[in-house]
Amino acid sequence: MTTDDQNPSAVITEDAPAGVVVREGEYGASLTTVEPGGAEFIPLHERHGRPIQLFWTWTSPNLEFATVFVGVLAVAAFGLSFWQAVLAIVIGSAVGAITQGILSARGPSHGVPQMVLSRLGFGYWGNVLPAGLNAITAGIGWFAVNSVSGTFALNTLTHLPKPLCLLIIVVAQVVVAFFGHNVVQLFERYAFPVLAVIFVIATIVILAKSSPGAPSHGGGSGGFLLATGAAFGYAVGWNPYAADYTRYFPPDTSRKAIALWSGLGLFLSCAVLEIAGAASATITGVAAALGDPTGAFTGHLPTVLADLTLLAIALGAVAANVLNIYSGALSFTAMGIKLPLALRRAIVALVFGVIGFILALTGLHDAGTKYENFLLIIAYWIAPWLAVVFCDQYLRRRTPLSEIEPMLFDRKHTNWAGPVAMLVGMGLSIWLFSNQTEYVGVVPSHVPAVGDLTFEVGFVITALIYLTWHAITDRRQAPATAAA
């Protein structure tokens, strides 16, 4: 039995460009229909939505405690003062938000998920590398991280057993993600005002009680780079999802509006809540901030506001994880694995929910260290992936869309410069500059003040290899093309 991904000619319609694989079934703007298909092209007659919805799409999932904890880490774990932490948070979040805007803007014109667009720079089968990594880190890794933070909040609020709280959180987010794009967007829209009001009030109270003039704990330049990397890692963790939530827009939707609303929503939510986390760490001791992070944060708030904040943390975890499961499932289907199922994305989402639940159970202890390591690992692979994507986009800037679209579904399309450059960039940067509890690279082990430069070095190395590779191969191909 063949699927539409295996037989493009069988699904081409008049409202799709030639050579693409069109998502089967009728979906439109329905809220009661389970989104069919997987990572295929969205036909033009099903396009809908406005750029402004991206503001709450990328704000709601960051209004949760996992975001707050990035700021807590900057002060309590990396030893920065409040104002040093603010600068690191703003820089890291801004870079991740800018790249989010750039990537989101490509969704409407191509009509496919982000990890299908990634095939241009990696080739059809070479794209298994980033798509597989994203499926694991999004659908399982981030899912587990956010489920744990939501579980802590629900446990503190209700005093129910943590495993039961985790089950409640997981079931809620899997149900939303199972139905697909339209229900996901609806959930983020209505969660936004509730989360925004509660967290804005909580942030004001925390800032009023904080001690911004408190001295640092010896973080220095190394701590600053670690904090910047963590903030960047958190924001950039959404980059591989960018086009997933803009591919349903009509092709003529303003690219500037898309970039603005997606980038702004991501930046504001990350920066504000991470700064609130840094402020809260100046009130309590390091042991309390890292040992019981949720309780320490809400412990500074009046009882009613503390309870509302705990409820918002649980709701925010669900808001984040419906995106993680949804995009993780899309990434899995973008790997090219044959799944002859009409609801293959939805079924993969259910499977990821089960795996993520099991993994989250193991993260109910020692969450601080595990979260710190996970944030840095995210940046380790995403920075080289971004280098390939942006370099390839630059090299194809004059290539007509009609030539690009068929390449996205051509199983014979190869571009080994992408996976090779990414693997070398990751390997060298991690070996030389990684700075985690599990492994310290060559440079920080001898010069601790450098902190963690893995994502910067990984990006540069990958970009240089990719551009050099194509400069050589394109020059060799030019005479052959001219002769033909």
For residue range 141-185, list pLDDT tens digits in order: 777 878 887 888 888 888 898 889 888 998 999 899 888 999 999
The whole-number average pLDDT for the span 306-334 is 91
The whole-number average pLDDT for the span 344-367 is 72
The whole-number average pLDDT for the span 77-91 is 92
Q: Which two tokens stand for residue 410?
A: 């051509």
- pLDDT band (50, 70, 90) for residue 8: very low
Cα(88)–Cα(373) distance, integer angstroms: 18
DSSP letter assigned to residue 251? T
- The whole-chain average pLDDT of the chain stands at 85
Phi, psi dihedrals of residue 398, rounded to the nearest 5°: -105, 5
pLDDT at 389: 97
The whole-number average pLDDT for the span 309-336 is 90
3-state per-residue secondary structure call for 42-92: CCHHHCCCCCCHHHHHHHHHHCCHHHHHHHHHHHHCCCCCHHHHHHHHHHH
Render the burial of 168-181: b for 16+ CB within 10 Å, e for the rest: bbbebbbbbbbbbb
- pLDDT band (50, 70, 90) for residue 285: low
Nearest to 45 by CA among 197, 294, 248, 292: 248
* pLDDT over 70 at 432, yes or no: yes
Fold classification of 49-382 (topology level): Hydantoin permease (1.10.4160)
Is the CA virtual torsion 454, 99, 38, 59 positive or negative? positive
Q: Quickly tell me which residue has 């870079």 as its tokens.
A: 95
- pLDDT band (50, 70, 90) for residue 5: very low
The whole-number average pLDDT for the span 77-87 is 91
Q: What is the pTM of this model?
A: 0.87
CA atoms within 13 A on the CB side of 337: 16
The whole-number average pLDDT for the span 474-481 is 61
> 202 vs 272, 298, 311, CA distance in Å?
11, 8, 12
Phi, psi dihedrals of residue 22, rounded to the nearest 5°: -95, 140
Q: Following CA atoms 396, 400, 401, 406 in sequence, which dihedral angle do they give, to the nearest 10 degrees?
A: -90
The burial of 450, by beta-carbon neighbours within 10 Å (0-12 exposed, 13-18 middle, 19 or more buried), is given as middle
Phi-psi region of 12 (alpha: psi -120 to 50; beta: other; left: phi over 0): beta
* pLDDT over 90 at 473, yes or no: no
Neighbour tally for 464: CB within 10 Å: 15
Cα(427)–Cα(416) distance, integer angstroms: 16
CB 138 within 8 A of CB 331: yes
pLDDT at 258: 97
Which of 166-170, 263-267, 336-340, 441-445 is modeled with the greatest confidence? 263-267
Cα(342)–Cα(348) distance, integer angstroms: 12
Q: Which two tokens stand for residue 57?
A: 């799409």
Which segment of 13-17, 287-291, 400-404, 426-430 scores lowest on mean pLDDT?
A: 287-291
Q: Which two tokens stand for residue 414?
A: 């190869």
**Between 320 and 38, the higher pLDDT residue:** 320
CA 231 to chain centre: 12
The whole-number average pLDDT for the span 292-296 is 69
Which segment of 160-174, 258-272, 460-474 scores lowest on mean pLDDT?
A: 160-174
* pLDDT over 80 at 250, yes or no: yes
- pLDDT band (50, 70, 90) for residue 14: low
- Model confidence over 86-136: pLDDT tens digits? 999 999 999 999 999 999 999 999 999 999 999 999 999 999 999 999 988
Q: Which two tokens stand for residue 21?
A: 């694989």
For the chain, the distance separating the N- and C-terminal CA atoms, rounded to the nearest angstrom, is: 40
